[in-house]
Structure formats: C-alpha cells, structure tokens
Amino acid sequence: MTLVKDKDIKHTLEKMIGWTFINSSIKKVYTFDSYMSSIKFINHLAAESEEENHHPDMAVGWCRIEIVFTSHDQGGVTAACLEMAKKTDTIYLKKLELP
C-alpha cells in the first residue's frame, strides 16, 4: 500500500469529526462514560484491526482513548489508515448505543 498525499489526507479528514493529521499519522481522542465502556470499545476495535490487519497505537486513559493510525512499514498515512479511521468512528457510534 502506498502513502496518501498530505493534501488528500487533509481533504478526507475535513469530512471526519475530530481526526487530526500530525507527524505522519492521524489521530483522534474518544471519550466514554465509564472506564469499562472504553475497554469494550478497545476490544471491538482490536477485533476489527486484526481482521483488517491494520492496527492502531492506542493510549488508554480514564474514560478516554487516543487512537493513532500510521503505516510503520510505509512511514506515513495510507488508504488503510483512513479506512480504519472511518471504521473506528463507526465502532464508537455503535458502542454508544449499547448499555
């Protein structure tokens, strides 16, 4: 997979709430009502990431998770990073609907 041009990354992220492009990666912070709901989110994202074979860096905090996508092999953002960012948003929205 090849790197996406910076202008194309920025254009794509304009349509996605909360994602930023910095240091050859894209990142977003998600917030949760409880620590356990954040862990459920991570578990669902981990399963999707494994299926897609594209794994984010994740930083866990109290009721917040920072997600960072970059291709370590390519040294920047690829189409797979952008696709996984969209899937991550979808997972987050679905988890908010669950008790």
Other beta carbons less than 10 A from residue 59's beta carbon? 12
CATH for 80: 3.30.1360.20
Question: Nearest Cα to 55, choosing from 29, 35, 11, 25?
Answer: 25
Q: Model's pTM, two decimal places?
A: 0.92
Q: Residue 1 falls within a domain, yes or no?
A: no
pLDDT digits (tens, 9 = 90+) for 77-86: 999 999 999 9
Note the pLDDT of residue 1: 76
Give the chain's domain count.
1
Under DSSP, the state recorded for 83 is H
Task: Classify residue 10 as left (phi > 0), alpha (psi -120 to 50) or beta.
Answer: alpha
- Domain residues for the domain of 76 are 6-96
Q: Residue 80 falls within a domain, yes or no?
A: yes
